[in-house]
């Protein structure tokens, strides 16, 4: 079984255009959650989101011709990929090879994708309005009014495809669409291929742009959104706030990375995925997350007492935070390991969250700083066993656990380490 190391990463979030800017914002207690600027929300109760600031797509992708056939969320994903590849030095190494064929054939791409978005249906709205109930009129009008590249722009695997096409990567690839665990599950899938020696390296990316008008309406109608603040584990928490962003990692077999002289930023020790079998809500007892945490520790060959910090899902909803606190207490005991989360600063980036928050977990371990949850004022009684604070803490070791959760009772965990011998 090959060991798997992290040799590059990149991200774009509501608080910064790269990893360092995002990390510094989190340390400073800054939040990118603000009133939505993409449309008029004057009369909306739920008007907050973690939007990318000053979105300029022409500056975010290297191949501007792609802008005709990709969406906003694809732009974010491809930007994170470009950052991670540059950070890893992988392409420069490939360019130095006399024959890069084997390199390309053994480079995989694994993507945590959000699928399609409600905004992608907007091209059809005018035709639908004009047609009334006459489907024949709709058919003829739509052909004239809908963008000819509509289908290509809505493909859920655009980031996977254009990462492979643009860089010539031809190894194993997967496109995971599993709501909030998509990014973490993409890491887990890449690790399985790397461990088995099926590939030598992988680009893993999670991306999403969930802060759109329809999403706010539907999430709000399910009682999932807060109209005022994202306050994980707080007594007054009342929901999450949606965001957008992307994160990417370059994972390599350790021996391969060392052979090319790559700088190693951390190691992935273990991963897991579990399901509770629900439609929307999570189990109140946190049973599914308990199984996921224990499975990731078993995969890593580590015990609970060895974990130095936990990056929790911490989405600010009452049932999710409470059941997550129960799950952490069940595995680790009360107030035994520092806990943090990052959605209070970035918004809930859903499919992107696992990769972005994994990168921030590595930053925490590397600098031995567990950022506080700045929006936390009064720890809720149902979360009181957590060692969580608005103030910065220190990790008790070089190992960190990331937890992510999603609709259908999905859970995925990743164990990271920055002590790579």
For position 59, what pLDDT does the model report?
A: 95
For position 53, what pLDDT does the model report?
A: 93
For position 38, what pLDDT does the model report?
A: 84
The secondary element (H helix, E strand) that includes residue 267 is strand 266-275
Are 170 and 272 found together in one domain?
yes
Q: For residue 127, is pLDDT > 90?
A: no
Are 147 and 92 found together in one domain?
no
DSSP state letters, 322-390? HHHHHHHHHHH-TT-SEEE-SHHHH-B-GGGHHHHHHHHHHHHHHHT-B---TT--SB-GGGTTSEE-S
Q: What is the largest CA-CA distance in the chain?
A: 68
**Any domain includes 315:** yes
Are 93 and 125 found together in one domain?
no
**Any domain includes 245:** yes
**Any domain includes 377:** yes
For position 335, what pLDDT does the model report?
A: 86
* pLDDT confidence tier of residue 125, bands split at 50, 70 and 90: confident
Are 311 and 212 found together in one domain?
yes
**Any domain includes 375:** yes
Are 296 and 245 found together in one domain?
yes
| Residue pLDDT, tens place only, 99-108 | 999 999 999 9
Are 309 and 326 found together in one domain?
yes
Q: For residue 304, is pLDDT > 80?
A: yes
**Any domain includes 182:** yes
Number of domains in the chain: 2
| Residue pLDDT, tens place only, 314-326 | 999 999 999 999 9
Are 136 and 20 found together in one domain?
no
Are 146 and 234 found together in one domain?
no
Are 104 and 126 found together in one domain?
no
Are 144 and 76 found together in one domain?
no
Confirm if 238 and 226 have CB atoms less than 8 A apart: yes
Are 44 and 128 found together in one domain?
no
CATH number of the domain enclosing 108: 3.40.47.10
* Beta-sheet pairing, 410-417 with 266-275: antiparallel
For position 137, what pLDDT does the model report?
A: 87
Length of the chain: 421
**Any domain includes 418:** no
Average pLDDT, the chain: 95
Could you tell me the CA-to-CA distances from 211 to 229, 243, 347, 348 in Å, in that order? Answer: 15, 5, 9, 9
* pLDDT confidence tier of residue 217, bands split at 50, 70 and 90: confident
Q: Which domain holds residue 140?
A: 119-151
Are 49 and 126 found together in one domain?
no
């Amino acid at each position: 079984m090959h060991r798997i190391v992290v040799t590059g990463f990149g991200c774009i979030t509501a608080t910064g255009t790269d990893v360092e800017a995002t990390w510094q914002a989190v340390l400073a207690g800054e939040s990118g959650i603000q009133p939505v600027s993409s449309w008029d929300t004057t009369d909306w109760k739920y008007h907050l989101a973690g939007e990318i600031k000053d979105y300029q797509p022409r500056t975010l992708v290297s191949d501007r011709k792609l802008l005709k056939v990709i969406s906003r969320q694809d732009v974010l994903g491809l930007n994170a990929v470009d950052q991670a590849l540059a950070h890893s030095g992988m392409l420069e190494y490939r360019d130095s090879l006399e024959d890069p064929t084997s390199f390309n054939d053994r480079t995989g791409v694994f993507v945590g994708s959000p699928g399609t978005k409600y905004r992608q249906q907007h091209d059809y709205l005018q035709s639908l309005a004009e047609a009334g109930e006459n489907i024949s009129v709709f058919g003829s009008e739509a052909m004239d009014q809908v963008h000819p590249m509509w289908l290509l722009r809505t493909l859920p695997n655009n980031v996977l495809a254009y990462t492979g096409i643009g860089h010539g990567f031809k190894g194993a690839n997967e496109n995971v669409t599993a709501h909030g665990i998509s990014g973490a599950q993409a890491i887990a899938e890449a690790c399985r291929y790397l461990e088995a020696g099926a590939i030598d390296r992988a680009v893993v990316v999670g991306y999403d742009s969930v802060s759109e008008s329809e999403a706010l309406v539907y999430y709000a109608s399910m009682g999932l959104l807060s109209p005022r603040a994202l306050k994980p584990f707080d007594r007054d928490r009342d929901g999450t706030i949606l965001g957008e962003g992307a994160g990417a990692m370059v994972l390599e077999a350790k021996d391969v990375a060392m052979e090319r002289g790559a700088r190693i930023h951390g190691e992935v020790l273990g991963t897991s995925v579990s399901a509770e079998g629900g439609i929307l809500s999570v189990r109140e007892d946190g049973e599914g997350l308990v199984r996921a945490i224990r499975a990731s520790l078993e995969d890593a060959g580590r015990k609970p007492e060895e974990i130095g910090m936990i990056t929790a899902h911490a989405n600010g909803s009452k049932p999710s935070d409470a059941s997550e606190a129960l799950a952490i207490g069940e595995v680790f005991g009360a107030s035994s390991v520092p806990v943090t989360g990052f959605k209070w600063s970035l918004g809930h980036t859903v499919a992107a969250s696992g990769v972005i928050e994994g990168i921030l977990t590595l930053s925490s371990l590397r600098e031995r700083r567990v950022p506080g949850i700045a929006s936390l004022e009064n720890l809720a009684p149902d979360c009181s066993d957590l060692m969580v604070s608005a103030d910065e803490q220190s990790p008790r070791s070089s190992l960190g656990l990331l937890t992510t959760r999603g609709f259908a009772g999905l859970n995925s965990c990743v164990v990271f380490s920055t002590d790579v011998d």
